[in-house]
Structures are given as structure tokens and as C-alpha cells.
């Protein structure tokens, strides 16, 4: 099993990826739900961080540091930085506050000062709001956003024909790297007879909302 397949199996095993009926932010009834907030203990965060590190290294995307948008991106960026350092690639990282601090060190950012090419580390891209805010913060600090790495790309349309990921790629002219995609999810389900019902449901959902390949 490749990295993407291993990640899907891990997400199912931990209950982070669930099957059933779930309402998305867009008001759609989805047959699956991915909640990265459920990677909520030391072991699962450690394993998740290793997947992020592998995706970043495999992408060969040149970057000088990492940025995690508050709030879910904070443990993700710290974990990814640790996992990369363990693989011999030591990168500085920072994250933002939701509200500026007016005492102590002050400001909106915590960690290393943004510099050079900055890779944004997040869980998923839904409406692209956190990416937009991250890009603005990085540019305001005089650095250059160079890409985004996420855990799962749902590969479904936003308001138009493009997915949220494709909209980000077009709006900011930078790549989005996903640890896994819904294609990987379907490949995982296809090899398991006990999950065939979920595969059929996701296939029907993709026919209705999926992007054109």
C-alpha cells in the first residue's frame, strides 16, 4: 500500500474518516466525513505528522519554512516540523493568533518570523478562507506563500466547476499538495467487500458533485 492508501487506512482506523450521512458546509448530504480534529492524542498526531512530512518531501516543493493557520493548523504545523526534522530537514515554523496581542511580544504571529518561501499546513480546504487569511499574513510579513499541504482533497465542486483546491491554485498561482484524495479513498474501499456499500454511495456523490478530471 502506498502512502496515500496507508493514510486512508489510518484515518478509517482512528475514526477520523467516517461513513454515513453528513451535511457539509455547502449543505450537501455527504456519505463520508473527515474530521482532523479527532487526531487528538500523541500517537495519532505523531503518525499524522509523519504523513505530512512524507507528502512534503515527495512533492519536492521548495520551501524555507512552514505556517499553520489557527486553530487546527497549529498542532499540524508543529507536528510536521518535528517529523521533517526527524527526516533530516529542519525548517522553522510559525502560526497566527485569531486576535492580535497588545502586550508581551504582541502581534498576530507566534514562532519564527516569516521569511523566504512559506508552505501553509492545514487539514482541508473547504471555502479557502484560512488559506486567504494565511496568504495575507505571510505577504504582510514580507515573505512569499509557496503552496499549501492538506490531509484530504475531497475533489468536489465549489460554487462553479472548480473545486476549492483548484480555486486556491488559480487564485494564488501556487500548488496544493494533498496527503490523499477521494480517489485514494475509493481505491481503498474498492478492495474491501465489507465497505462496498460506502463505495457505491461515494461514487454516486461524486457523479453529482465531483470535479471533472
Residues labelled catalytic? 101, 103
- Is the alpha carbon torsion for 206, 3, 122, 120 positive or negative? negative
85 contact partners, CB below 8 Å, separation of at least 6: 91
107-111 sheet: strands from edge to edge: 107-111, 93-101, 65-68, 117-121, 144-153, 176-181
What does the chain come to in residues? 213
190-205: buried (b, 16+ CB within 10 Å) or exposed (e) per residue?
A: eeeeeeeebbebbeeb
Q: In whole angstroms, how large is the CA radius of gyration of the chain?
A: 17
The rounded distance, in Å, linking the Cα atoms of 17 and 178 is 15
CA angle 27–120–181, rounded 5-degree value: 50
SS3 content of the chain, % helix, strand, coil (to 5): 45, 25, 30
Amino acid at each position: 500500500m502506498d502512502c496515500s492508501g496507508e493514510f486512508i487506512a489510518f484515518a478509517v482506523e482512528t475514526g477520523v474518516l467516517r461513513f454515513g450521512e453528513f451535511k457539509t458546509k455547502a449543505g450537501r448530504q455527504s456519505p463520508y466525513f473527515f474530521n482532523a480534529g479527532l487526531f487528538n492524542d500523541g500517537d495519532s498526531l505523531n503518525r499524522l505528522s509523519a504523513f505530512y512530512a512524507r507528502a512534503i518531501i515527495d512533492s519536492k516543493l521548495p520551501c524555507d519554512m512552514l505556517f499553520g493557520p489557527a486553530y487546527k493548523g497549529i498542532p499540524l504545523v508543529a507536528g510536521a516540523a518535528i517529523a521533517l526534522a526527524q527526516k533530516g530537514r529542519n525548517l522553522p515554523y510559525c502560526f497566527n493568533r485569531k486576535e492580535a496581542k497588545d502586550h508581551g511580544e504582541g502581534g498576530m504571529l507566534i514562532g519564527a518570523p516569516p521569511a523566504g518561501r512559506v508552505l501553509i499546513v492545514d487539514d482541508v480546504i473547504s471555502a479557502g478562507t484560512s488559506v486567504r487569511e494565511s496568504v495575507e499574513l505571510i505577504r504582510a510579513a514580507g515573505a512569499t506563500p509557496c503552496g499549501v499541504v492538506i490531509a484530504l482533497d475531497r475533489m468536489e465542486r465549489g460554487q462553479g466547476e472548480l473545486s476549492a483546491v483548484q480555486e486556491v491554485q488559480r487564485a494564488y498561482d501556487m500548488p496544493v499538495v494533498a496527503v490523499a484524495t477521494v480517489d485514494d479513498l475509493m481505491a481503498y474501499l474498492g478492495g474491501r467487500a465489507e465497505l462496498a456499500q460506502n463505495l457505491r454511495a461515494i461514487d454516486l456523490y461524486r457523479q453529482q458533485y465531483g470535479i471533472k478530471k
